[in-house]
Amino acid sequence: MKSSSRHRFALVAALSAAALLAGCGTPDRAQPPPAAQTPSFPPLSTTPPAEICAKLTSYWVRERLAGRGTGDYMKEGMSNAQNNIVISVMEAARKERKRAGDAAAEKLITERTKHDCSERYRNATPSGTPWH
């Protein structure tokens, strides 16, 4: 290799290395570094578990009675125990509807889901085993 070729090769190599290092160098001084922040999370729900259960189960009782439920409690966002509440309340609501009409069935749904969920979550956590 001739001397001028070696110099050109060395110059190209040096410029290439400088270009690579420029991309990995110090941060742009025009932008201040991001401030260290504690991540913010949404607040935890303050709704009692029994109330959440009552809203969820009464909704699915109504949907299933109207023929719009999926019948798959996991897809509906419920535990097996909550599904058992839905099934029990549905049976009672059907009987009440036949006996006394829609308004009476609606009242029963509201009262029974509140009661059953209050029993299930009487200590703010599910009572019994998680599978029942």
Residues 6+ apart with CB under 8 A from 10: none
The whole-angstrom separation of Cα 18 and Cα 99 is 88
Q: Is 115 exposed, middle or buried (0-12, 13-18, 19+ CB in 10 A)?
A: middle
Is the pTM value of this prediction over 0.75? no
114, containing H or E segment: helix 102-120
Contact 49, 88 (CB under 8 A): no
pLDDT per residue as tens, the chain (132 positions): 556 666 666 666 666 666 656 655 555 566 666 666 777 777 777 889 999 999 999 999 999 999 998 889 999 999 999 999 999 999 999 999 999 999 999 999 999 999 999 999 988 666 665 554
The whole-angstrom separation of Cα 19 and Cα 14 is 9
The whole-angstrom separation of Cα 4 and Cα 6 is 5
